[in-house]
A and B are shown apart, each in its own frame.
Chain A
Amino acid sequence: MTAPPPPPGEHIPALEVRDLTVRFAGLTALDAVGFTVRPGTVHALIGPNGAGKSTCFNVLSGVYRATEGSVRLGPHELTALPPHRIADLGVGRIFQNLALPPRATVEDSLMLGRHRLTRTGFVAAGLRLPSAAREEARHRARVREIAAFVGLEQQLARPAGSLPYGQQKLAELARALCMEPKLLLLDEPVAGMTADERRRTASVIAGVRDSLGISVLLVEHDMGLVMRLADSVTVLDFGRRIADGAPGDVQNDPAVVRAYLGEESAA
């Protein structure tokens, strides 16, 4: 699968997470976690339920404040920025649970991803200035391209809420792509998908990396997918990093086996 033509060649920065700690009243969700997402790679963040993966995403996208530690995207420190400023730096994210408006059409939902790349304000939109119409038309064209890339071009006019669950997740991925991100944070992108949709999503993610050079941080419970896609893997358990490395090495790491199989092997 070939991705739509990339936006004018932009430098893809590395993401460096260092000693990241997040505490909720009495609970340490992340404990001095560190890893690096190299530019243009798919980096998987895996671990059992409650390991702290989504918490990590929430810090990376500015939704939660880190208790300690730093997150750097190229020259920018993210931990002090609000979510919309982080988005402005080119960080796109999909949520573990759907966050699509149910009644808006797929096309309008994707247009939301263009928000950071567009300028039309209240006055221009209210007065329907020609500049607003031109901007709208230009970005709708790009949205259609991206929809075709993920295979949703037939669904553009339908309300997002009327699509099957897997296609809604795909629409959310398309919306994140519409932000023309440099770093994509994908929280369980194939959960709830059919085998066919899983294959399609996997090839979209691989296509994004290979032809656009975007970095991807991937949280996923589907180990087959992780092993096929990831260039490197970080494993969390109870908020701690228990392994980090190439997929093959991590897979055979005793600590990882123990974390996934639980009491069975601890006994």
Chain B
Amino acid sequence: MSEILTRSGLRVGSPAVYGGAAACLVLLVLPFYLDRFWLQAGLFAMAAALGAIGINLLTGATGQLSMGHAFFLAVGAYGYCAFAGDGADGLAGLGLPGWLAAVLAVALSGLAGGVFSPIAGRLRGAYLGIATLALIFIGQHVLFNAHDLTGGFNGRAVPPLSLFGLTFDDTELLVAQVPFGAVEKLWYLGLALLLGGVLFARGVLRGRPGRAMNAIRDHRIAAGVMGIPVARYRAAVFVLSSMYAGLAGVLLALVFQRTVPEYFGMALSLEYLAMIVIGGLGSVAGAVAGGVFVSLLPQLLNRYSDALPLVSAPGTGGIAPGEAARYLYGAAVVAVVLFLPGGLARLAARRPGKPGSGKSPKTPMHTPNTPTTTEPSGEAR
């Protein structure tokens, strides 16, 4: 039993447990201290982390590249609007309760992934990446042109979510003398969703499906020979990844309170790829770290643009904060690829004194004296 606990990293009394508990506590009280700007930035980070978990399951853990992640975020965001909208703004809407609309929007993203999954199952690696580009083009075309559904260029307003009689809008709710508006309430929803998303993904990765996914990434042919239905697994992971993207899309829409088409373009897909590279390919912690880093960076630069050299408010001569953020995480991607394989997550795991890093010194690393030349894993020999 103790062995099982150690494996899942949950040793009672270990520093990791105390650290985690403290972090949770801090996250829970933040809405009482932070202003709207920071809460909103935090919510973007949570949504980004959820989306990044999705693409990390696909790209990091299974080795399947996707350029179409933004498309599934859009399906989630617009799907929610269409299911929850009451049609008062002249746009198609079913007027469903908010929570049901959110669930259906995630299901719709999964369905969209399922429709694409025959392709996702057959194509591997970079080839899938190229095929998924089509999703971005189709998505952008539909978002800009299907006015009745999407509101076209101007997008559509996002109906507030309601859950257990609580409406996540700006009608103020006084909690311990602190007025709770939409962001404060959504903060807790975001935390709950992220926690659920993290736990689910970790369960998948540590269990039988995760082993099969990694086997497909590392040795595709051997995976098949080991009894793993490779195409079916790839398709299933693609659907799961789309559902995470859909959930991220719903949360983003609720925070933005308006969905606009240009947000869901190519650049967003690339941002998600940057997140998992910076955070660490294949791990949930990496996805969360990368998601938070990439989504908070522009916000930080925005807020402190006065204090930073070269960076200044848009249109005043210097580099706009958004632009500066792009340069920075562009540089971060290159730096991680060159100097920090494994990303931020690996960096944290390498810290001395942390359980897990203690294993390596005890076991001297043998360099395998490979007599045969290492061939690409695809080679079936």
Pick from B119-127, B137-145, B221-229, B253-261 the stretch touching chain A.
B221-229
Q: Take A108-B211, A118-B208, A192-B370 as given contacts and tell me if A83 and B225 are in contact as well, using a CB distance cutoff of 8 Å.
A: yes
Contact of A95 among B204, B214, B371, B380 (CB under 8 A): B380
Q: How far is the CA of A122 from the CA of B224 in the complex (A)?
A: 18
B368 & A164 in contact (Cβ 8 Å cutoff) = yes
Task: Tell me the nearest residue of chain B to A162, going by C-beta.
Answer: B365
| Residues from 76 to 130 in A contacting B, C-beta threshold 8 Å | 82-84, 86-88, 93, 95-102, 104, 108, 111-113, 115-116, 118, 120-122, 124-128
A132 & B207 in contact (Cβ 8 Å cutoff) = yes
Contact of A165 among B226, B371, B377, B379 (CB under 8 A): B371
| Residues from 204 to 245 in B contacting A, C-beta threshold 8 Å | 204, 206-212, 214-215, 218-219, 221-222, 224-230, 236, 240
Contact of A62 among B208, B209, B224, B375 (CB under 8 A): B224
A87 & B369 in contact (Cβ 8 Å cutoff) = no
Task: Tell me the nearest residue of chain B to A119, going by C-beta.
Answer: B208
Q: Take A120-B208, A158-B363 as given contacts and tell me if A191 and B371 are in contact as well, using a CB distance cutoff of 8 Å.
A: yes
Q: How far is the CA of A238 from the CA of B163 in the complex (A)?
A: 72
Q: How far is the CA of A165 from the CA of B230 in the complex (A)?
A: 27
Shortest CB-to-CB span from A159 to chain B, Å, is: 8
A84 & B224 in contact (Cβ 8 Å cutoff) = yes
* B200 is an interface residue with CB less than 8 A from chain A: yes
Residues on A with C-beta less than 8 A from B208 are 111, 115, 118, 120-121, 125, 132, 135-136
B375 & A97 in contact (Cβ 8 Å cutoff) = yes
Contact with A along B346-372 (1 / 0, CB 8 A): 000000000000010001011011111
| Residues from 155 to 210 in A contacting B, C-beta threshold 8 Å | 157-158, 161-165, 168, 175, 179, 187, 191-192
Contact with B along A223-244 (1 / 0, CB 8 A): 0000000000000000000000
A104 & B214 in contact (Cβ 8 Å cutoff) = yes
Contact of A127 among B200, B209, B371 (CB under 8 A): B200
A126 & B381 in contact (Cβ 8 Å cutoff) = no
Shortest CB-to-CB span from B326 to chain A, Å, is: 32
Shortest CB-to-CB span from A181 to chain B, Å, is: 10
Q: How far is the CA of A128 from the CA of B227 in the complex (A)?
A: 23
B203 & A162 in contact (Cβ 8 Å cutoff) = no
Task: Tell me the nearest residue of chain B to A115, going by C-beta.
Answer: B227
Contact of B366 among A96, A112, A121, A164 (CB under 8 A): A164
Q: How far is the CA of A86 from the CA of B224 in the complex (A)?
A: 9
Q: How far is the CA of A64 from the CA of B378 in the complex (A)?
A: 13
A125 & B215 in contact (Cβ 8 Å cutoff) = no
In the complex, which of the residues A102, A112, A118, A122 has the most CB atoms of chain B within 10 Å of its own CB atom? A122
Contact of B227 among A84, A163, A191 (CB under 8 A): A84
Task: Tell me the nearest residue of chain B to A158, going by C-beta.
Answer: B363
Q: How far is the CA of A84 from the CA of B209 in the complex (A)?
A: 15
Task: Tell me the nearest residue of chain B to A96, going by C-beta.
Answer: B381
Residues on B with C-beta less than 8 A from A102 are 218
Q: How far is the CA of A218 from the CA of B87 in the complex (A)?
A: 70
Shortest CB-to-CB span from A206 to chain B, Å, is: 24
Contact of A101 among B206, B214, B366, B374 (CB under 8 A): B214
* A63 is an interface residue with CB less than 8 A from chain B: yes
* B182 is an interface residue with CB less than 8 A from chain A: no
A192 & B372 in contact (Cβ 8 Å cutoff) = yes
* B201 is an interface residue with CB less than 8 A from chain A: yes
A122 & B209 in contact (Cβ 8 Å cutoff) = yes
A161 & B381 in contact (Cβ 8 Å cutoff) = no
| Residues from 163 to 207 in B contacting A, C-beta threshold 8 Å | 199-201, 203-204, 206-207
* A54 is an interface residue with CB less than 8 A from chain B: yes
Q: How far is the CA of A124 from the CA of B210 in the complex (A)?
A: 12
Q: Take A101-B214, A101-B219, A187-B381 as given contacts and tell me if A83 and B224 are in contact as well, using a CB distance cutoff of 8 Å.
A: yes
A122 & B225 in contact (Cβ 8 Å cutoff) = no
Q: Take A62-B225, A96-B381, A112-B212 as given contacts and tell me if A128 and B203 are in contact as well, using a CB distance cutoff of 8 Å.
A: yes
Shortest CB-to-CB span from B380 to chain A, Å, is: 5
A111 & B236 in contact (Cβ 8 Å cutoff) = no
Residues on B with C-beta less than 8 A from A191 are 371-372
Shortest CB-to-CB span from A194 to chain B, Å, is: 10
Q: How far is the CA of A84 from the CA of B227 in the complex (A)?
A: 4
Q: How far is the CA of A245 from the CA of B271 in the complex (A)?
A: 63
Task: Tell me the nearest residue of chain A to B372, going by C-beta.
Answer: A97
Contact with A along B266-308 (1 / 0, CB 8 A): 0000000000000000000000000000000000000000000
Contact of A97 among B214, B236, B381 (CB under 8 A): B381
* A61 is an interface residue with CB less than 8 A from chain B: yes
Residues on B with C-beta less than 8 A from A187 are 381
Residues on A with C-beta less than 8 A from B359 are 157
Residues on A with C-beta less than 8 A from B221 are 63, 83, 99
A115 & B228 in contact (Cβ 8 Å cutoff) = yes
13 A-B interface contacts by CB (under 8 A)? A54-B381, A99-B219, A99-B222, A112-B226, A126-B199, A127-B203, A128-B199, A128-B203, A132-B207, A164-B368, A164-B369, A165-B371, A192-B371
| Cβ-closest 5 pairs across A and B | A125-B207, A116-B227, A87-B227, A83-B224, A99-B222
Using a CB–CB cutoff of 8 Å, the interface residues on chain A facing chain B are 54, 58, 61-64, 82-84, 86-88, 93, 95-102, 104, 108, 111-113, 115-116, 118, 120-122, 124-128, 132, 135-137, 157-158, 161-165, 168, 175, 179, 187, 191-192
Besides A115-B208, A163-B366, 9 new A-B residue pairs in contact (Cβ under 8 A), listed by A number? A61-B225, A83-B224, A87-B225, A97-B379, A115-B228, A120-B207, A126-B199, A127-B200, A164-B369
